[in-house]
């Protein structure tokens, strides 16, 4: 992983309110020469085009104004621009790269959601992301005293921006995860920009691991550590990926650090995990000693 990419990615997270800029830097994992500027310009143009549709309903009488703005955005993004969910090749890594999503107009919920958020912001409509279990969703915050709408409108970017009520969210959770996660309204809390980027990277890492593309998965963990330095699971995974790739010194360094920092968690699950990691560390120490 080039250090300048990690540095640029970290700087983008810290210095901008945009999701698109760090997401496009993330795409340099597979497209090292990618220039984000043309894609940011495209989003600017899409925002301007969408604003014209949104402005047409700005004078509409309450209480339908917020819903009408979302309908205008949906019409532009899914009908005119042609965004859609890639159901046929959901695990294709290209679905996690914003440049490919904009070029191919195909994506997964989180990348479609990022396009929606960025275009809506440029069109004057605030949209937040929701790290809902199993499916990334969107939220349009609304002042009910002004609009007459509920305090929030929930949208599914993978289903052409369809509005969801609480029952829909419960059903979606059950369809995606069964009974693994019980429904609670707190699951619809807006995510921070950092949390959204971390989820995007986790999706990409999962796709690479499924494909057994371990060098790429290891590079993703470098960006995950940049986005969330305290994520011990990512430190552990980076060490295990380095072990798998026979980079034994790097693996030993990460796993020893993981073991030291994870001791604060005294749960049974954590103790079992540390036991497994300790066995790896003993094997790595023998290998590294043999290299010297």
Confidence at residue 1, expressed as pLDDT on a 0 to 100 scale:
67
Q: Compute the average pLDDT of residues 59-65.
A: 62
Q: Give the domain ranges of the chain.
A: 3-188, 230-291
pLDDT over 90 percentage in the chain: 81
Q: Which residue has the tokens 């023998």?
A: 286
Of the listed ranges 203-212, 229-238, 263-272, the one predicted with least confidence: 263-272
Q: What is the pLDDT of residues 110-125, one digit of tens each?
A: 999 999 999 999 999 9
Is the confidence at residue 24, as pLDDT, over 70?
yes
Is the confidence at residue 61, as pLDDT, over 60?
no
**CA pair distance 10, 116, nearest whole angstrom:** 23
Confidence at residue 288, expressed as pLDDT on a 0 to 100 scale:
86
pLDDT over 70 percentage in the chain: 94
- Architecture of domain 3-188 in this structure: Roll (3.10)
Of the listed ranges 67-71, 99-103, 143-147, the one predicted with least confidence: 143-147
Confidence at residue 199, expressed as pLDDT on a 0 to 100 scale:
96
DSSP state of 254: H
**CA pair distance 34, 24, nearest whole angstrom:** 8
Pairing state between β 152-156 and 162-164: antiparallel
**CA pair distance 241, 209, nearest whole angstrom:** 10
Helix, strand, coil fractions of the chain, as percent rounded to 5: 65, 5, 25
Is the confidence at residue 126, as pLDDT, over 80?
yes
How does residue 143 score in pLDDT terms, banded at 50, 70 and 90? Answer: low
Is the confidence at residue 27, as pLDDT, over 90?
yes
Is the confidence at residue 149, as pLDDT, over 60?
no
Q: Compute the average pLDDT of residues 185-199.
A: 95
Question: Phi/psi of residue 26, each to 5°?
Answer: -55, -35
Name the E strands within the chain: 84-85, 106-107, 128-130, 137-141, 152-156, 162-164
Is the confidence at residue 138, as pLDDT, over 60?
yes
Mean pLDDT of the chain: 91
How does residue 147 score in pLDDT terms, banded at 50, 70 and 90? Answer: very low
Name the E strands within 24-77: none
Assigned token pair, 146: 């002004």
DSSP H helical ranges for 108-189: 109-122, 144-147, 166-177
The pTM assigned to this predicted structure is 0.91
Confidence at residue 88, expressed as pLDDT on a 0 to 100 scale:
94
């Amino acid at each position: 992983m080039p250090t300048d990419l990690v540095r640029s990615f970290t700087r983008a997270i810290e210095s901008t309110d945009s999701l698109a800029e760090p997401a496009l830097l993330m795409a340099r994992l597979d497209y090292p020469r990618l220039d984000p500027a043309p894609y940011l310009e495209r989003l600017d143009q899409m925002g301007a085009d969408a604003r014209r549709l949104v402005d047409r309903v700005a004078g509409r009488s309450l209480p339908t104004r917020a819903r009408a703005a979302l309908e205008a955005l949906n019409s532009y993004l899914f009908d005119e621009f042609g965004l859609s969910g890639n159901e046929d090749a959901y695990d294709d890594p290209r679905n996690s790269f914003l440049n490919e999503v904009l070029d191919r107009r195909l994506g997964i919920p989180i990348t479609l959601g990022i396009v929606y958020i960025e275009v809506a912001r440029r069109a004057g409509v605030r949209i937040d992301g929701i790290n809902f279990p199993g499916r990334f969703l969107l939220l349009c915050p609304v002042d009910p005293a002004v609009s007459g709408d509920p305090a929030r409108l929930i949208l599914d970017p993978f289903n052409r921006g369809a509005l969801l009520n609480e029952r829909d969210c419960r059903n979606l959770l059950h369809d995606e995860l069964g009974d693994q996660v019980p429904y609670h309204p707190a699951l619809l809390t807006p995510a921070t920009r950092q949390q959204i980027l971390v989820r995007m990277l986790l999706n990409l890492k999962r796709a690479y691991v499924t494909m057994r593309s371990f060098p790429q998965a290891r590079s993703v963990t470098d960006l995950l550590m940049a986005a969330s330095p305290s994520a011990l699971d990512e430190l552990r995974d980076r060490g295990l990926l380095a072990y798998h790739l026979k980079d034994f010194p790097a693996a030993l360094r990460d796993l020893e650090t993981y073991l030291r920092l994870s001791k604060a968690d005294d749960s049974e699950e954590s103790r079992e995990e540390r036991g497994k990691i300790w066995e790896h560390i003993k094997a790595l120490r023998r290998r590294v000693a043999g290299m010297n």
